[in-house]
Amino acid sequence: MKKFIAIALAVLTAVMVFAFAGCGDKTNETSELAAIKEKGKIVVGITDYEPMNYMENGKWVGFDTELTEAFAAKLGVEVEFVVLADWGKKFMDLQAGTIDCVWNGMTITDEARNNSSVSDVYLQNSQVVVLPADKAATLTTVDAIKDLTFAVEEGSAGQTAGKDNGLKTVAVKDMATALLEAKSGACDGCIIDKTMADATVGAGTSYANLGVAMTLSTEEFGISFRKGSDLTAELNTFLKEYQASGEFKKLADKYGVTVEE
C-alpha cells in the first residue's frame, strides 16, 4: 500500500511540474503586450532609411515612423527609436531584449520567420540596381553589370539579391551609406530597396545624378517581434483597422510609398 501511495505521489508531482512548466511557457508567450504597457514605451530597432525612417529637423519622420507611432498610440505608450549598429544582427538584438521589435522596411525571409514572430505583410517591395544616370539608361541586364561593384547594406535583402545574381558587392552599414558610395564613385553603384530608390534617386531628389537600372527581386515587408509575442496579433489587428480606415493610404501618399489598391 505504501509503495502504491509513493508511486501515485510521484506521478502527481510529475504532472504538477509539467502543468506549471506549461503555464510558465504560456505566461512568457503572452506577457509582452502587458510588459510594454507597464513600461510605457515600445523600443523599435531601425536604420536611417528614407522614406521609412529618417531624420528631419532633428526628429525621426517617415512612413514606418508614423505607422509605429500610430500603433503605439493605440497601445497608450510612447516610442523609442534605436538605430541598430548592425542590421545583420537585428534578431540577436531582438532576442537580447535591447529592442522590442524590428520595424524598418524589413523583408520577410526564412531567417526572420525562424528567429522572430513576423507580422502580416503590410507592403510590397523589390530590390533595384542603382547606377549613375547615364549608365542606368544603358546597362539594363544583369550580364551587363557583372564586372561592376555594388554597395549593399550588411545583412539586407539587397545583399542577398546581389549574391543570388552573381554580382560583386561591398557590405556597408546601411542603405543610406550604400547610396553615398554610389554617388561618390567609391562603388560603381548600389543595390537598395525600391521604396528608398523611389524617394531618393532621380531628377528632383537628393541623388539626381543616379538612376534605377533594373529590378533584381521582389519581396514583402513585415515587422518582427520576439517569438511567441502577443504583440504580433495586436499589430495585425491594428494594421487591418488602419488600412480599412483609409489612414494607411493617406500615410503612404504622404511619403510616396506605393501600396496595392
Kindly state whether residues 46 and 73 are assigned to the same domain. yes
pLDDT of residue 206: 87
Q: Is 255 helix (H, G, I), strand (E, B) or coil?
A: helix
Asked whether residue 110 falls in the same domain as residue 237, the answer is yes
Q: Residue 51, SS3?
A: coil
Range of the domain at 197: 126-219
Q: Are 208 and 190 in contact (CB under 8 A)?
A: no
Q: Are 145 and 216 in contact (CB under 8 A)?
A: no
Q: Would residue 145 count as lying in a domain?
A: yes
Q: Is residue 173 part of a domain?
A: yes
Look at residue 201 and give its three-state secondary structure: strand
C-alpha–C-alpha distance, residues 184 and 200, integer Å: 15
Give the three cell numbers for residue 224. Answer: 518582427
164 and 98 co-located in one domain: no
Same domain, 226 and 120: yes
Cα–Cα–Cα angle for 84, 89, 94, rounded to 5 degrees? 75
Q: Which residues of the chain have pLDDT under 50?
A: 1-29
In a domain, 140, yes or no: yes
Residue closest to 173 by CA, chosen among 88, 91, 98, 256: 88
Kindly report the pTM of this predicted structure: 0.81
The predicted pLDDT at position 15 comes to: 40
pLDDT single digits (tens) 200-220: 999 989 899 999 999 999 999
Nearest residue to 42 via CA among 190, 229, 184: 229
Measured between alpha carbons, how far is 122 from 240 in angstroms, rounded to an integer?
A: 9
Q: Does residue 16 form part of some domain? A: no
How far apart CA 154 and CA 178 sit, in angstroms, is: 10
Total number of domains in the chain: 2
Task: Report the DSSP beta bridge partners of residue 38.
Answer: none
- Assess whether 87 and 193 both reside in one domain: no
- pLDDT the model gives residue 155: 93
Closest C-alpha to 64, from 261, 260, 242 = 242
The predicted pLDDT at position 258 comes to 85
